[in-house]
Structures are given as C-alpha cells and as structure tokens.
Structure 1
Amino acid sequence: MTDLNLFYYTVPPTGEAFTTLLQDKNVKIVRIVSSNNIEPTEYHQEEDEWVVLLEGEAEMEIDGKRRTLKRGDTLFLPAHTPHTVLRTARGTLWLAVHIYPAEKS
C-alpha cells in the first residue's frame, strides 16, 4: 500500500503515469495521471473496472461509442468491454478500481 496525497503529482510529458495505491486478492486501486500527449490503446480487461475522473477532461471510446468525461464523472466498465482513451487534457487525474473475479474453490 502507498500512502500519498492523490492531488500531489507530476504530469508525465507523454502518456500516463500509473500508481498502484492498494492491491489485494480481488481488488486493485490505481491513480492515473494523464498528459495531453497519449497514444490511444484499446483495452480488453479480464476484470471489471470502475473509474472516477477527479480532475481534467477525457474523451473515450467504449464498446464503439464515444463519451466525454469531465471532473466528477464515473463509469463502470464490465470485464471484456473494449475501451480506448482517445484524448485527455494535461493533468487529467483518474482513480481506477479494478475488481477481479473471486477465486473458485
């Protein structure tokens, strides 16, 4: 676990900076800081993801549909949902919660 202030960060010159804040068996919480120079990459994750945009603005494509996110917006991405971050404002700050399936016994 990392102790820090979510709002004290350095904006990367390109791409995004990922900081894992907490990781346990079925959950991972990540702070993401975006530059305004990102390379759009499509993701298809094995786990569910809940995201809140804390600062800035972003444009995403989620399952073929474009969506603009502003400060305070949240979204839930079920596992295997194709999604791409297309554009971000410099210093966009996200909190992402990844929820992994429970292990079968």
Structure 2
Amino acid sequence: MKRRNFIQNTLVSLPIVLAASKVNAKIRNKKGFKVEAGKDRFNQPIKYRGVNPNDVKISSKDTDGQLTVLEYVGFEKIGPPLHVHYEQDEIFYVVEGEYIFQLDTERMTLKSGDTIFLPRAVPHTWVQTSDKGKLVYFLQPSGQMEEFFKKMNELKGPPTEALIQEIHHAHGMKVVGPPISI
C-alpha cells in the first residue's frame, strides 16, 4: 500500500474508531455504588469449597470487563491448586491472617497489611496458614473469574481432577500442580 493511501485510509477510519469508544463509554454505568461489609455486589454470595465466602465487591459488569474485586474470608487452612491465568494479573491484599503464596517456585509469607502482585501466565497458588483469614483481591482484566467461581460453587461434591481441569480451561486457566500443603 502506498504511503498516501495508508494515511488517507487511517484518517478516514479514525472517526469511526473514536465514535465506537464513546458508545462504549455511554453504556457503562457512571453511578458509583457501595457494597456493605460482608455482602456481595449482587446479593448472590459465592462460597469457595462451600464454606468460605468469596464475595464480588466490584463486578466485571461494572467495569466493562476491565477489573473485578473480590473479598475472600477463610475459615479453613486451604488454598487453590497451582494454576496459571492466561490473561489476568492478580493483586492480593491480606486484611487479616497469614498466608503462604507461591509465585512460580518462590514461596513468600504474607501477613495482615501485605500485598502481592501475581502477573498473568506465571504459575501461582496460596494457602491460608492461620485459623481465620481475609483477602481482598483484584483481577485485571476481569476475564471469566466470576463465572468460574459460580460454576465451582454449583458443584454438588468434590470434583474429579479431569473436571477441575475442564472448568479451569473453560475459564481461561490451567491447573499445573497441587495446592500447597501445610
């Protein structure tokens, strides 16, 4: 393509691209909101493993899929298997309790007030080591994490390894190892 044609085509298409971004901005809810302590954004609480509240505080629906914020309250010394998110970065802030986080092969202890950044495509996991704990965590972009937690919450019993892999894969993740045992 000749330079002149390239520049001309770019200038012609620019208003269309800019208009599309303005349309999306108009669809997004511009009103803020409050989510009370111990509550889920849509009053549809999700329990991790049927016991531990994992409440959506800011939904992907609120941010056009750019951000999800959840609050996890742990009553068990458990955590997820070693896994990879293909498209999401995660940030965890420890509100209460103590946790061991594993990022690739490195393990770190986090206590109340500590924060950890887990970049996408890097294997990671965590385990709660205190009797009770609380995490606030951010996923950016949102991906399908809310749907993942809902799906896992719907299971009637312990899933098989094959089902765990299938559900993770369907939501943009892969299990690559076991959970941390303490």
Are positions 1:51 and 2:92 aligned together? yes
Aligned counterpart, 2:136: 95
TM-score, normalization by structure 2: 0.47
Q: CA deviation at 1:43?
A: 2.3
Contact kept in structure 2, 1:19 and 1:31, CA below 8 Å: yes
Are positions 1:83 and 2:124 aligned together? yes
CA offset digits 1:2-40 (Å, max 9, x no partner): 72125xxxxx89764311111122000000111233254
Structure 1, unpaired ranges of 5+: 7-11
Whole-angstrom distance in 1 between the partners of 2:123 and 2:34: 29
Contact kept in structure 1, 2:79 and 2:125, CA below 8 Å: no
Are positions 1:5 and 2:41 aligned together? no
Are positions 1:18 and 2:54 aligned together? yes
- Runs of 4+ more than 2 Å apart: 12-17
Q: CA deviation at 1:88?
A: 2.7
Deviates more, 1:39-48 or 1:26-35: 39-48
Question: Which amino acid in 2 is paired with 1:28?
Answer: T
Q: Which secondary structure does the structure 1 equivalent of 2:102 belong to?
A: strand
Whole-angstrom distance in 2 between the partners of 1:38 and 1:15: 11
- RMSD of aligned residue pairs (Cα, Å): 2.5
Change over 3 Å in CA distance of 1:13–1:78 after alignment to 2: closer
Structure showing greater relative contact order (alpha-carbon pairs closer than 8 Å, 6 or more residues apart)? 1
TM-score, normalization by structure 1: 0.77
Equivalent positions of 1:53-72 (< 5 A) are: 53-72=94-113
Are positions 1:27 and 2:67 aligned together? yes
Aligned counterpart, 2:168: none
Whole-angstrom distance in 1 between the partners of 2:49 and 2:81: 17
Contact kept in structure 1, 2:82 and 2:124, CA below 8 Å: yes
Aligned residues: 96
Indicate the structure with greater helix content. Answer: 2
